[in-house]
A and B are shown apart, each in its own frame.
Chain A
């Protein structure tokens, strides 16, 4: 099993560059702030709208503050750098300058999760959902492919609220297809099923897609629901699913602590329901060896095979 089995469209990174260019051309309030990455990625934007592009250098704390000030002055800034550096590196600036001021800034963390597995834990982002969920006013989105990323970007700007969008790098499976991407706080049913429900967020959803295909061959009917909204949680959609399923598996490329799965668990507990559920995510340990993203997903047991195994356990 591997992502290569699936049709892939343009990488998320390229889709981001294209979408942000279109947005900036159409709306002079849209400005892109980059932390000295994306070599040549934004050449089209820089050529067409040089005033709407700022390379802020390797100085992420300042970049967040600058974006917040711009957001409070009528602009719609988009901040772009590698996920750990646009998230926990400048956590206090995000809490105070963006969250507290409710400044309409979109933070984009590229190469999120284990995309940069080979660069080591300094470049992994496996705690961003956990810390961002606790910051008031901040929306947390995790699209699964290029098309859903484009929609998330537009919806985040339209919402005029501080929003973190966690994206991949390249090679993401096209899971949206001809469907339209649901609004913030909603979900997309990718496959209907009857025995078990897989709730998946972010780019690791490609693994869930492969798992559903394998489960079909094993005679297990699994529903796959894609969730791009980590906060606010798609409570209405989840409630409907809880009426239909007693066995569930959540999947995320993020720590099991404080992530998407835990927020689903706490929602179930608040409803007073009892379900058979497994929350797949990375364990409470740094990965001290290098490898490909696929290797890292296997290492943390969030790959397609591990999802299949979890589904079989909750279906018992």
Chain B
């Protein structure tokens, strides 16, 4: 049940591997949202290896911590994380995107894939469900914690703020959320489409304890989480991130919300991420076209 305690170089190496597999999978399966996946990869790696108490052999153990990827369109990176963490073999991801596979653009329900707590994809649903899980722990008397990652675009949804109000009234101290604040949503800058700034102040005004960090710094994640841990309010960590983080030609370029990388771009990504040639493994596998 206890998380591993990987060193920062180990976490960084894992993040590079997960990023690469997500990019290669996007090419092979035709799955979009790479920019959104890469901006929250570091958060996911840190949570799944150093924070969450899980039992990968018995994924529904009652005492487990819960994690909900509220920005469900980043599922491609979550699927890679769950495989690497040991919920299922990475080999099952070979069927990604094929007819009949559970691995697609959004997480399926917990009944259909080990390690998933909620089927998200429609924005604004993950936080209310996470809050319900956090409040249930008081009645079932299981001392688990609940975590969620929201997108900044997702904060357009009114239901997010309904949940923020209730979490505050209920003092849901076992609930921690991260806003993957990459400053973009599907078709433009998140601060221009709706008035999101000042984002941290909004969460504070809603009665949450809130800190702002660099969402690609494991040190900052660690220290923010620990400095908030004794607070009896729900916690929001605003993670300033870069859409497409880690791949120079994708960083802060919103075309990668939808674009699918070519084989050459996958090879360039491998080189940027220091992935050895023998792990690129594009030969002999044909990209799936759903066009």
Contacts and interface: CB of A to CB of B under 8 A. Distances in A.
Given A69-B129, A73-B133, A96 B122 contact: yes
B110 A59 contact: no
Interface string A66-88: 11111111110100000000000
B282 interface: no
Contacts, number: 101
Interface size band for A: 20 to 34
A69 B127 CA distance: 10
Interface stretch (A49-57, A158-166, A306-314): A49-57
Contact of A69 (B118, B119, B138): B118
A54 B140 CA distance: 15
A97 interface: yes
A64 interface: yes
Contacts of B131: 62, 65-66, 69
A65 B165 contact: no
Given A51-B139, A66-B132, A72-B129, A96 B162 contact: no
B247 interface: no
Contact of A74 (B62, B119, B130, B159): B62
A143 to B, nearest CB: 26
A57 B164 CA distance: 12
A51 B127 CA distance: 21
Contacts of B170: 54
B158 interface: yes
B128 interface: yes
A96 B136 contact: no
B214 interface: no
Q: Which of B62, B66, B117, B166 has the most CB of A within 10 A?
A: B166
A297 to B, nearest CB: 35
Contacts of B111: 102
Contact of B128 (A54, A64, A73, A100): A64
B127 A59 contact: no
B137 interface: yes
Q: Which of A64, A67, A70 has the most CB of B within 10 A?
A: A70
B110 A69 contact: no
Contact of A59 (B122, B140, B162): B162
A52 B135 CA distance: 10
Given A62-B163, A100-B119, A93 B125 contact: yes
A97 B125 contact: yes
Contacts of A92: 122
B89 interface: no
Contact of B140 (A65, A74, A100): A74
Contacts of A63: 128
B136 A69 contact: yes
A66 B128 CA distance: 5
A65 B117 contact: no
A30 to B, nearest CB: 10
A61 B166 CA distance: 12
B163 A66 contact: yes
Contact of A96 (B62, B125, B139, B158): B125
Given A69-B133, A75-B140, 6 more contacts: A66-B128, A69-B130, A73-B66, A73-B140, A97-B129, A101-B118
7 contacts: A62-B166, A69-B128, A70-B132, A72-B132, A77-B132, A93-B128, A101-B118
Interface of A: 28-29, 31, 51-52, 54, 56-57, 59, 61-75, 77, 92-93, 96-97, 100-102
